[in-house]
Amino acid sequence: MANHTHAPAPLGGSLFTPFTLLLGTLSAIAGVILLYRLFYGLGAVTNLNDGYPWGIWIAYDVVVGSAFACGGYAMALLVYIFNKGQYHPLVRPALLASLFGYTLAGASVIFDLGRWWNFWHIFWPGYAQVNSVMFEVAVCISAYIVVMWIEFAPAFLEKWGLKDVRQKLNKLLFFFIALGVLLPSMHQSSLGSLLVIFGEQIHPLWQSGMLLPLIYLMTAILLGFAVVIFEATLSSTGFRRQLETPVLAPLAKLMYGLLAAYVVVRVLDLLLRGALGSAFAATWQAFWFWVEMACFVVPLATLATDRARRSAGRLFAGAVLLMLGGFLLRINGFLVGYMTGEGWHYFPSLAELMVTVGLIAFEILAYIYIVRNYPVLPAAQPATR
């Protein structure tokens, strides 16, 4: 049963804090570097090379970044498909974070494309090559970004007082919500399918072949829940509001079930392919594999009971670990486990890193701005401490 007292409202308050100034600076640095990249090429700014043609701008900004932006997807799935209305207050903030996460993931793709002025070819018949996994990922992500802006439009329309438009939109919203569940299911799983064509160039610990879409989809939804817990906690702490543990705890229970299912799938996949042996070799791949597994297995222990899930600290720690786990699964698959051949080396350059950091900073800054000026968060519930 929905809670009547949670009608969203702008947070208000000053945008200019030391924190937002820091965020602004980092964003500006990223902007300058990107301008330089525009005029002097990728090589002038990144450490990309032909052994590692995809660096952190793809592996993190796009693949991990979009997975971290699955909060909206996870919440839409819960609230509108499985009809768990009690999570409704979490929808808009999650959607906002997703909106920016995905928009910036999409922007990162453009920044990374070498011949970016041709990017419209992906959508154009005659150019579009429909057998390519990347085609499907690009089209679905682009469509999803549009859908999310539409899904979030009510918040803008509310602020701008366009009630008629808002009502008309509300009548059609269910269709966009349905799309907003289908599209991420497609592209988040396909982000995993991208690895299939690399065949044995991906280390056996991450080359799950036909199971890749399922593994990436499950972790995307897991990450969606984890990110919601993470951002809700940070929001409450940062804006000095009451913690939303009563809502987050049962959410965590659902997350827990999915986590258990995922760990089973992942371990079975490794066993059935006979890949587990390589986890015991003295290699960096084996090391990072165990770190990744730990990030999934530790929350299985720490969030096992209802009581544990009511602890805000444990919830937050568990969410962070899951985020790290999902991050590592993707970084390991695309970079650490990408066996490009002997002799090649890659580590992101400082400029490359600052762009990623700057984009995240920009995302947070935009989130803070929107939340302060538009009705996103539930109405003021000051922290009781």
Residues in 2-41 at the binding interface with another protein, rule: CB under 8 A: 2, 4, 7, 38-41
Closer Cβ to another protein, 329 or 335, answer by number: 335
**Stretch near another protein under the rule CB under 8 A, chosen from 10-18, 98-106, 266-274, 304-312:** 304-312
Closer Cβ to another protein, 280 or 350, answer by number: 350
List all residues 6 or more positions away from 371 whose beta carbon is below 8 Å from its beta carbon: 10, 11, 93, 96, 235, 239, 377
CB of 276 to another protein, least distance (A): 22
CB of 274 to another protein, least distance (A): 16
CB of 270 to another protein, least distance (A): 19
CB of 353 to another protein, least distance (A): 5
CB of 91 to another protein, least distance (A): 5
- The single residue listed with the structure tokens 């969606």 is 224
Collapsed DSSP state (helix, strand, coil) of residue 24: helix
Closer Cβ to another protein, 11 or 321, answer by number: 321
Euclidean distance between CA atoms 153 and 170, whole angstroms: 10
Q: Contact with another protein (CB under 8 A): which of 83, 164, 240, 382?
A: 83
Euclidean distance between CA atoms 385 and 382, whole angstroms: 9
- Give the residue among 93, 86, 68 at the shortest CA–CA distance from 238: 93
Tell which positions 215-254 bind another protein, by CB under 8 A. Answer: 233-234, 237, 243, 245-246, 249
Closer Cβ to another protein, 12 or 199, answer by number: 199
Judged by CB under 8 A, how many residues of this single chain contact another protein? 109
Euclidean distance between CA atoms 330 and 327, whole angstroms: 5
Interaction between residue 118 and another protein (CB under 8 A): yes
Amino acid at the residue 381: Q
CB of 268 to another protein, least distance (A): 19
Euclidean distance between CA atoms 156 and 68, whole angstroms: 23
Closer Cβ to another protein, 113 or 280, answer by number: 113
Q: Contact with another protein (CB under 8 A): which of 21, 22, 25, 116?
A: 116
Tell which positions 243-302 bind another protein, by CB under 8 A. Answer: 243, 245-246, 249
CB of 59 to another protein, least distance (A): 11
User: Do the Cβ atoms of 336 and 288 come closer than 8 Å?
Assistant: yes
Question: What is the Cα 60 distance to its own chain's centre?
Answer: 10
The 59-78 site mask, x for binding another protein (CB under 8 A), equals --------------------
Q: Contact with another protein (CB under 8 A): which of 107, 279, 298, 317?
A: 317
Locate all alpha helices (DSSP H) within 211-311, ordered by sequence: 212-238, 245-272, 284-302, 306-309
Euclidean distance between CA atoms 175 and 53, whole angstroms: 38
Euclidean distance between CA atoms 201 and 199, whole angstroms: 5
CA distances from 328 to 27, 49, 238, 325, 369 (A): 25, 22, 27, 5, 30
Q: What is the DSSP annotation of 107-155?
A: HHHHHH-TTGGGGGGGGSTTT--TT-HHHHHHHHHHHHHHHHHHHHHHH
Quick one: DSSP state of residue 381? -
- Give the residue among 248, 220, 218 at the shortest CA–CA distance from 233: 248
CB of 79 to another protein, least distance (A): 8
Q: Contact with another protein (CB under 8 A): which of 12, 16, 129, 274?
A: 129
CB of 343 to another protein, least distance (A): 4
Q: Contact with another protein (CB under 8 A): which of 30, 314, 325, 361?
A: 314
Q: Contact with another protein (CB under 8 A): which of 11, 34, 46, 231?
A: 46
Tell which positions 145-204 bind another protein, by CB under 8 A. Answer: 151, 154, 170, 173-175, 177-179, 181-182, 185-186, 189-190, 193-194, 196-201
Task: Write out the two tokens for 195.
Answer: 């690895």
Question: Is the torsion defined by CA of 18, 20, 23, 25 positive or negative?
Answer: negative
Closer Cβ to another protein, 227 or 280, answer by number: 227
Tell which positions 348-377 bind another protein, by CB under 8 A. Answer: 348-350, 352-353, 357
Task: Write out the two tokens for 350.
Answer: 């400082």
Euclidean distance between CA atoms 256 and 192, whole angstroms: 22
